[in-house]
A and B are shown apart, each in its own frame.
Chain A
Amino acid sequence: MKRLVRWLILPLLFIAIGIGLMQGWYYVFPPKAERVVQSADAELSRNIGGAGSLAVPTLAQGTIHEVRDGDSIQEAVLTAQPGDTVMVYPGTYSETVYIDKDDIVLMGVVEEGEYPTLDGNKELNDAILYSGSDITIDSFKIMDYKGNAIMGQAGNNFVIRNNLVIDTGVYGIFPQFGTNGLIEHNVLTGIEDAAIYVGMSDHIDVRHNEVFGNVAGIEIENTRHALVENNYVYDNAGGILAFITPGLPIKTTYDVIIRDNFVVNNNHVNFAEPGSIVANVPQGTGILVMAADDVVIENNIITGNNSVGIGITDLSLVTDVSKDPGSEPNPDRMVIMDNVMYNNGSDPKGILKDLISVVGRDTGPDIMDTGKGSGKCIADVNRYQTLFLLGADYGVCDRLEYATDGLFTMTLEDMAPTEVKQDVSDADFEKEIGKRAYYGVCTGCHTYSVRMIGPSVKSIQALYFDNPEGIAEYINDPIKKRDDYPEMPPQNYLTEETRMAVAKYMLGVRE
């Protein structure tokens, strides 16, 4: 009902008051105010002309761990050290592989067309989970999981490529909280939400992928600086989505370029889980921009999408989630350059059908805009069938200003840091680490001058005054030394460097 109010009654009101129902034509153009020529927002930190990192190093220099049919990939990952490569040969592996260390290459070996296959048998949740940075996942066939094929939680500088993903549940490839990533040459189908879902990330390229038979093909959500390029996106319920989803801790989506994609015949029935955000996407949608800012759509072939070619909407499309005062709801500075569009909207579905019927037609347009947001432009509006509601106002894009030819990638020119950069000498950096460990850990049991749980730092200094190595060694594997004190728990979880740094720092503490 709410949906009806928002989508039917409001437009009706507008029509009744503003234009009059007798106008008899389905275009609902706003009053032809001045046509401002829009130019790109100066705030965009686009990497124009930059030959970016394209995310990560290729094959690492370290040891190669071979995994063959019958072995466990996880065992090899646990053994591998940062810099190592895990080579997986063809075979069927039914496991969840998690990578909680940095700089690992997980490389499938394809022999005569046979891929190493991760098969979840619809029993396992996820095929590959990673939280480390500098992770490469290459050349796997992943099928029949319940959650994701590949899910990243906060790793930077990732490369996910050459994977075949079939019916892996909610998402196919899902990096989250990552900076600097490349997703390319993957084929994904049968996913009940987004096949490639870039969530809350920065500086990501999604290119040269084939996505079909999913609810959503590619989704860029609450993400900045994304390039979606040269993908073949067909037979999904919705092809490419650029969204702000409310209620998430990272609130914005901006600087997204969608170019050179084939977005064709995305008319699959929407089989999303009830209650999910993508359940709101009308079957037959080519590209949908919701609340995202500074989105450029250029040089795509967008045809045969039966509801609409490109839809642009504010957050009112999703009526069944809590409002989020932190999420700006309008799509601002939308840029539609030249695209090949025809035969879109022949059989609109869902909410779009309702909307379109309100203005007296039964077919959808190439481009539809629900009227919110500002600073939008189209390079040549006459090329397209458009349906603009509620006074959507498009200026003319300056082609020169918006040409993205010079932009090769959205990945960072230098890889994203995996630790907070310290602009200090090595000695000072060691001191900083030592200080963090000393105050962050040791002071729970030791104070400088009096006994707390452990002995005073003063008494430790007296014992080890010029011997930090002794402390570093002791805390790694403590033995009970003082009868009247509890035994110290081992601090072996600290790296060797950290143990040494904290030992040195402890010897220098003066209060």
Chain B
Amino acid sequence: MNRWIIALMLGGLLSVGAGAEPAATIELSPYCPPGFERVASNNCELRSLYQQYPSLQSQGVGGLKTGLPAYRDGFSPQVIDLGRYLFFDPVLSVNGTQSCATCHDPSRGMADGRAVSIGALGEEGTRSAPSLWNLAFQDIFFWDGRAATLEDQVVGPLYSEQEMANTPANLLQTLNGIPAYRDLFQVAFPQSAPDITLDEIYHALAGFEASLVSLNSRYDQYAHGYADALTPPEIEGLNVFRSFVARCAECHTPPLFTNQQIAVIGTPEPDGMSRDVGAMGVTGDASMRGGFKVPSLRNIELTAPYMHSGKYDSLWDATEFYTLGRGHAVPEGEHLYLHWHIWEPELTDTEIDRLVDFMKTLTDTRFAPRVPEVLPSGLSPISAEAFIPGN
């Protein structure tokens, strides 16, 4: 379909704004999403087999039977479900063309399948949409680690010119103008005044994001003690993964497969893109130039292309990067403080094959959120694939 026609249709919807009523009445689920128990206070508490294991200094890094780090839970089912509607609703963007889910699509590993994301206004960003699985267990967000809470994180894409390009005032005006949302916010936040507030929006989105748990992969079955959960080639891959030759597990540490540190590894940018300074842009510290948060490898099979700016199309190529030589992709004249784990492990092609085999055992989307059929705004959910920016 011609994008102009779609834009016109959306424009029409937006112009009637508050008048667009959903076809059916929307009710917030009184039940917690999978993975959570609703306790007496009407809050959803995480339950996981990993809760039976300790971890060193309670940091949630270690080996197979290692517990989780501190995590976010305790949101009410209604808040989480409201967060789900907001997450999938393009009305959150400046022009109604883009929802959170267009870059974090459940059918694409909670990412978007692009090297770098495109914003609501059609502007191309400089970084790859990170997967949102298991955010509840993390305490730094964004590739450059600039946010420390989920609430701080959601503010970023909502108002970034290169992303949803909205403004706080416009967002509030839009949502407060939609009676269905006013009703739902009253259900989720019964103690609050009738007007929707920004903090409520952030809180609901945070609650939804914290509900995206992936801890039931075949790897996890192996970790809990079922030796047959992995095939011999996959176990071979696990052994390469945790070996100090490949050193993958030193940063992609179980059980989350990230140690949540900033690391400078010196991956190349796509052709024509200038060097992303990464964490240095946040801290101003030159030793963090090109430093990015170690991403979790859970569901990594689903989130190609890889690295912060999507340089590699396949897991194989992304893995091969680590054996092509310390600093091999750092342009001349560029000084990076490369992480000491970046060295020359001389992995064989077979070892890379096995590593890829192993990483694919980290796939588990059983608790994937359901895409709403109807949204409170009356707009339709848009998948990553169907997303067409407006202007």
A: which residues have CB within 8 A of B? 78, 96, 98, 100-101, 125-126, 129, 131-133, 146-148, 151-155, 169-171, 174, 177-179, 200-202, 247-250, 273-277, 320-325, 416-420, 433, 435-441, 443-445, 447-448, 492-495, 498, 511
Contact (A438, B63) CB under 8 Å given A98-B239, A445-B366: no
B244 engages A170 (CB within 8 Å): yes
Task: Answer whether residue B362 sits at the interface, using C-beta atoms and an 8 A cutoff.
Answer: no
Q: Which residues of B contact A416 (CB under 8 A)?
A: 54
Our pick among B49, B63, B242, B367 for the contact of A437 (Cβ within 8 Å) is B49
Main secondary structure of the interface of B (DSSP, over half): loop
Interface residue? B189 (CB, 8 A): no
How far is B66's CA from A416's CA once the two chains are assembled, in angstroms?
13
Residues of chain B within 8 A of A274, CB atoms compared: 326
Of the candidates A147, A323, A441, A494, which one forms a contact with B244 in the assembled complex, judged by CB atoms under 8 Å apart?
A147
- Partner of A125 from the list B31, B245, B288 (CB cut-off 8 Å) is B245
Q: A126-B243, A148-B244 are in contact. Are A249 and B59 (CB under 8 A)?
A: yes
The stretch that binds A, out of B4-12, B99-107, B334-342, is: B334-342
| Closest chain B CB from A120 CB (angstroms) | 10
> Is B216 an interface residue when CB atoms closer than 8 A count as contact?
yes
Is the contact region of chain A dominated by helix, strand, or loop, or is it mixed?
loop
- Asked if B142 lies at the interface with its beta carbon under 8 angstroms from chain A, I say no
Contact call B343/A276, Cβ cutoff below 8 A: yes
Q: How far is the CB of B216 from chain A (nearest CB, A)?
A: 6
Q: How far is the CB of A411 from chain B (nearest CB, A)?
A: 15
Selected from A155, A321, A498, the residue in CB contact (under 8 A) with B339 is A321
Chain B 257-280 per-residue mask, 1 if CB under 8 angstroms from chain A, else 0: 001111110000000000000000
Q: Give the residue name and chain of the B residue nearest to A130 (CB).
A: B63
Identify which of B61, B64, B65 gathers the most chain A CB atoms within 10 Å of its CB.
B65
Query: Which interface class (under 10, 10 to 19, 20 to 34, 35 or more) fits B?
Result: 35 or more
B53 lies within 8 A of chain A by Cβ: yes
Q: A153-B254, A440-B35, A448-B31 are in contact. List 7 more A-B contacts (CB 8 A).
A: A132-B65, A152-B63, A169-B245, A321-B339, A420-B52, A441-B216, A495-B225
A-B contact pairs, 17 of them (CB 8 A): A126-B244, A126-B245, A151-B244, A154-B64, A169-B244, A177-B55, A177-B61, A179-B54, A320-B337, A321-B287, A323-B285, A416-B54, A418-B65, A419-B52, A419-B65, A439-B47, A448-B31
- Quick check: B47 and A440 within 8 Å, CB to CB? yes
Q: Determine whether B57 belongs to the interface, using a CB cutoff of 8 Å to chain A.
A: yes
CB of B51, distance to nearest CB on chain A (Å): 6
- Give CA–CA (A495, B287) in the complex, Å: 48
**Which of A125, A200, A420, A493 is close to B56, meaning CB atoms less than 8 Å apart?**
A200
Please report the C-alpha to C-alpha distance between residue A387 and residue B308 in the assembled complex, in whole angstroms.
Answer: 46
Interface on B for A, CB 8 Å cutoff? 31, 34-38, 47-49, 51-57, 59, 61-67, 215-216, 221-222, 224-229, 235, 239-240, 242-246, 249, 253-254, 259-264, 283, 285, 287-288, 291, 326, 337-340, 342-343, 366-367
Among A202, A248, A433, max chain B CB count under 10 A is at A248
Q: Is the CB of A419 within 8 A of B53?
A: yes
- Assess whether B51 is in contact with A322, with CB atoms less than 8 Å apart: no
Q: Residue of A at shortest CB range from B294?
A: A249
When A129-B243, A322-B337 are in contact, do A435 and B343 touch as well, CB less than 8 Å?
A: no
Query: Is the pair B63, A171 in contact by a Cβ cutoff of 8 Å?
Result: no
Q: Which residue of A lies closest to B346 (CB)?
A: A146
Q: Choose one: B37, B62, B235, B244; the contact of A439 (CB below 8 Å).
A: B37
Q: A126 CA to B238 CA in the complex, in Å?
A: 12
Q: A131-B65, A444-B367 are in contact. Are A436 and B239 (CB under 8 A)?
A: no
**Smallest CB-CB separation from A421: which chain B residue?**
B54
Closest Cβ of chain B to A506, distance in Å, is 13
Bound-state CA distance A126–B236 (Å) is: 12
Residues in B neighbouring A448, C-beta threshold 8 A: 31
Alpha-carbon distance between A155 and B65 when the two chains are bound, in angstroms:
8
Q: Is the CB of A433 within 8 A of B52?
A: yes
> Which 7 A-B residue pairings sit nearest by Cβ, starting from the closest?
A154-B63, A493-B226, A154-B62, A439-B47, A153-B63, A493-B221, A131-B63
Which of B47, B67, B215, B288 contacts A435 (CB under 8 A)? Answer: B47
For the complex formed, measure the closest distance between the CB of A165 and the CB atoms of chain B, giving whole angstroms: 14
Give the chain B neighbours of A418 by CB distance below 8 A. Answer: 53-54, 65
Residue of A nearest to B31 (CB): A447
Question: Taking the nearest CB of chain A, how far is it from the CB of B23, in angstroms?
Answer: 21
A494 contact set on B, CB distance < 8 A: 224, 226
A465 vs chain B, min Cβ distance (A): 22
Whether B67 lies near A420 (C-beta < 8 A) is: yes
Q: Are A249 and B239 in contact (CB under 8 A)?
A: no
Asked if residues A178 and B339 are in contact (CB atoms below 8 Å), the reply is no
How far does the alpha carbon of A320 sit from the alpha carbon of B38 in the complex, in Å? 49
Contacts of B52 in A (CB 8 A): 419-420, 433, 436
Given A250-B57, A321-B287, A322-B288, A177 and B47 contact (CB-CB distance below 8 Å): no
Residues of B within 8 A of A275 (CB): 326, 338, 340, 342-343
The distance in angstroms between the C-alpha atoms of A200 and B58, with both chains bound, is 12
In the docked arrangement, what's the CA distance between A420 and B235, Å? 27
Residues of chain A within 8 A (CB-CB) of B64 are 100, 131-132, 153-154
Does the CB pair B291–A177 fall under 8 Å? no
**Shortest Cβ distance from residue A429 to the other chain B in the assembled complex, whole angstroms:** 10
| Residues on the B chain within 8 Å of A323, using CB | 285, 287-288
Tell which of B57, B226, B239, B283 touches A325, judged by Cβ atoms closer than 8 Å. B283
Residue of A nearest to B347 (CB): A125
User: Bound complex: CA of A68 vs CA of B38, how far in Å?
Assistant: 55
- Which chain B residue lies CB-closest to A199? B250
